[in-house]
Amino acid sequence: MAAIPDVIISHYPVNYDSRGYFKRLYEVDFSDEALQFVHSSVSYNTSKGTLRGLHFQTTPSNEWKFVKCIKGEIFDCLVDVRLNSRTYGQVMCLELNEKNNLGILIPPGIAHGFQTLEDDTLVFYAMTDVHRPELGRTLSWSDMSLKIPWPLVPTSISISDEKGLNWPVAY
């Protein structure tokens, strides 16, 4: 799947020694923007096949999101919902896991979701805007027009994610 402009994928080497490893989660230098993260969260997922998303904040939120899988593995999916973007409706997917140490910086107007590929998966998030439930939207993960190649039949999904909006949507 093609890249979406303004989405930045970062990778940092992992330093191993006899004690274990040291791994960087995030570093400002991969972005021209000096982002100010206002909160961070961890999503713990007990079962392989758990699906979360596709979530985004609508305007006036200007939320950037940094996502990294710190334990286990996920199939991560982004959809450009920026109406004036040349890649509006484009889907981008990749695998994030504790071994490849990839992180994704996601700009405003991009819907984000993931499916766990292993049991006991941890996903780290950092956001640049306070969460405002009234601005939160969910794009239907199963909308056939998006052609998202989810690798597994979902084993667990929230009621609100099951009721996501059908395409088209706009930021």
pLDDT of 96 over the 80 cut: yes
Which residues are marked as active site?
A: 55, 125
Please answer whether residues 146 and 167 qualify as being in contact, where contact means their C-beta atoms are separated by less than 8 angstroms. Answer: yes
Query: What tens digit of pLDDT does each residue of 106-150 get?
Result: 999 999 999 999 999 999 999 999 989 999 999 999 999 999 999
| pTM to 2 decimal places | 0.92
Beta strands in the chain (DSSP E): 8-11, 14-17, 20-23, 39-45, 51-57, 65-71, 73-80, 91-97, 102-106, 110-116, 121-127, 136-138
Record the tokens describing residue 55, joined without a space: 């979530």
Q: Map tokens 């766990």 to a residue.
A: 116
What's the pLDDT tens digit per position in 41-61?
999 999 999 999 999 999 999
CATH class of domain segment(s) 8-162? mainly beta
User: What does the radius of gyration of the chain's CA atoms come to, in whole angstroms?
Assistant: 16
pLDDT score at 2? 65
Q: Distance between CA atoms of 24 and 95, rounded to whole angstroms?
A: 18
- Domain spans of the chain, in order of start: 8-162
Q: How far apart are CA 52 and CA 41, in angstroms?
A: 14
* 39-45 sheet: strands from edge to edge: 8-11, 102-106, 65-71, 121-127, 39-45
Mean of the pLDDT values across residues 86-92? 96
